[in-house]
Structure 1
């Protein structure tokens, strides 16, 4: 695995309480696996790919809004084909230490009243339609504001992101550095090979473990079998293709590593709750 990289400096607490960036960067220059002691609120404007957050690997696409908790390893791996004509991806991001939240709650009763009783998440969260829309609007607005005006907008954002109910979990923290590295290695292997069959023997050899030890280790760390994980990743990727491309159902089937269309449809229906064609039709109606 490549060395851990910090993609930006956290705000100087003496002069700034949070960090805001509108980042448009060459897809090859985006940061690798990293962590920092700040909340990261991240909105994808241009690009798609696979996101590692703690122990979880998921596809992402333009429009996604995700909250990463402090100290969680994460990595936004953009697909080169998702860049714009100049080869760049783009995102808006706010990073802030938890001390900002604590101090604001101490000073401003209005904010304290809004966050009283809130249990701050330890897992990464992907926001749903309603909360994502509010966050996107706020971050776009911040782009045209000065520092003081951005701070006022942060006061509006904090209750939204910490009291939202429309979210899905996007990653649990991995406590051990050794597990972080091994899970990153497993994620990278799946990302590179999911189009083709992935055998347990190959995966065990990749991690330097025997088959039995690998199966036990993966089930302990992820709470699911390796086969279930690969199937989940393939289905998540299929959902993104159905949502963001015009490829046929059969093309999507083979692009995500299923070699039999009827089998793909059965597995998709069992796990997603609807057929691929119905899933796409439902998206087009929203």
Structure 2
């Protein structure tokens, strides 16, 4: 294990990442078996992430810390902490895939559950929730792995019931080790995070250069030069790419119509959305959904 400054290890600025909307669900559960090269890069999101590695090994970054990980590891990443899981290609199975289970849930989900259910409140009310990333020890990992594996075979109501059992375990156990703490980030990175956060909150609407420049206390010309220097692309190109990244997640993880997704991610014209999507992703939205079904 070792810690490293953010600017040493990253080639790109941290990108805020919105977990795909799962309609009529209160948390996000995924059983993911994918090629190593399509795993998420350095990102952050406003949710707790409980992650169980079934197959594969590599390096995990959480906050200011790099640690190796392997099959069987279970870790908890706090909301808004930059992180990534980089799998070694040689760790893939015979089909070229790695495999993990992941549960992501907002802190407001915990709060609402505590408000609604005294039984859960009795277990969690006195807790100080961790600000550091945690890797669970042998016994806790065994219990959590079993529960996540059971959730994988349950319907949505069964998973919700299992979440009520899971929350006290992950937050009450002392069977864990340190896996990363929040970083003290230099000014340029903090400013870029501010820009990315603003985009994440407003990408469904038109964002003018004057508007985003004012958000970070710069004039339009200075902002354009600054952004191109930091990201190697224009702000407009960045917003378009973020919209398409979000569209890709919705195509993979939701049942929304393509026209719904088009407007949900900030495009105002379906033919234009289809054209831009194919130019940047290499396939149409319809074909992308088929490939990733």
Out of 168, 175, 180, the position equivalent to 1:171 is 180
- Give the RMSD, CA atoms, in angstroms: 1.9
Does 1:9 pair with 2:22?
no
Asked if 2 retains the 8 angstrom alpha-carbon contact of 1:49 and 1:59, the reply is yes
Alpha-carbon distance change, 162 to 141 in structure 1, aligned in 2, over 3 angstroms: same
CA distance in 2 between counterparts of 1:108 and 1:84 reads 42
Does 1:104 pair with 2:110?
no
Out of 111, 114, 131, the position equivalent to 1:122 is 131
Q: Give the superposition deviation at 1:87.
A: 1.1
- Matched residue of 2:44: which SS? coil
CA distance in 2 between counterparts of 1:122 and 1:3 reads 22
Which digits, 9 at most, give the CA deviation of each residue in 1:249-276, with x for residues without a partner?
A: xxxxxxxxxxxxxxxxxxxxxxxxxxxx
CA distance in 2 between counterparts of 1:49 and 1:179 reads 29
Does 1:157 pair with 2:166?
yes
Q: Give the superposition deviation at 1:11.
A: 3.8
The aligned residue for residue 45 of structure 2 is 36
Asked if 2 retains the 8 angstrom alpha-carbon contact of 1:54 and 1:180, the reply is no
Asked if 1 retains the 8 angstrom alpha-carbon contact of 2:45 and 2:79, the reply is yes
Asked if 1 retains the 8 angstrom alpha-carbon contact of 2:47 and 2:80, the reply is yes
Q: Using structure 1 for the length normalisation, give the TM-score.
A: 0.60
Does 1:22 pair with 2:31?
yes
CA distance in 2 between counterparts of 1:5 and 1:31 reads 10
Alpha-carbon distance change, 108 to 65 in structure 1, aligned in 2, over 3 angstroms: same
For structure 1, list consecutive stretches of 5 or more residues without a partner in the other structure: 182-286
- Matched residue of 1:176: which SS? coil
Which digits, 9 at most, give the CA deviation of each residue in 1:235-261, with x for residues without a partner?
A: xxxxxxxxxxxxxxxxxxxxxxxxxxx
Does 1:90 pair with 2:99?
yes
- Matched residue of 2:95: which SS? coil
Which digits, 9 at most, give the CA deviation of each residue in 1:104-126, with x for residues without a partner?
A: 00110000001121100000000
For structure 2, list consecutive stretches of 5 or more residues without a partner in the other structure: 1-10, 191-293
Q: Using structure 2 for the length normalisation, give the TM-score.
A: 0.58
- Matched residue of 2:161: which SS? helix
Asked if 2 retains the 8 angstrom alpha-carbon contact of 1:47 and 1:78, the reply is yes
Q: Give the superposition deviation at 1:6.
A: 6.1
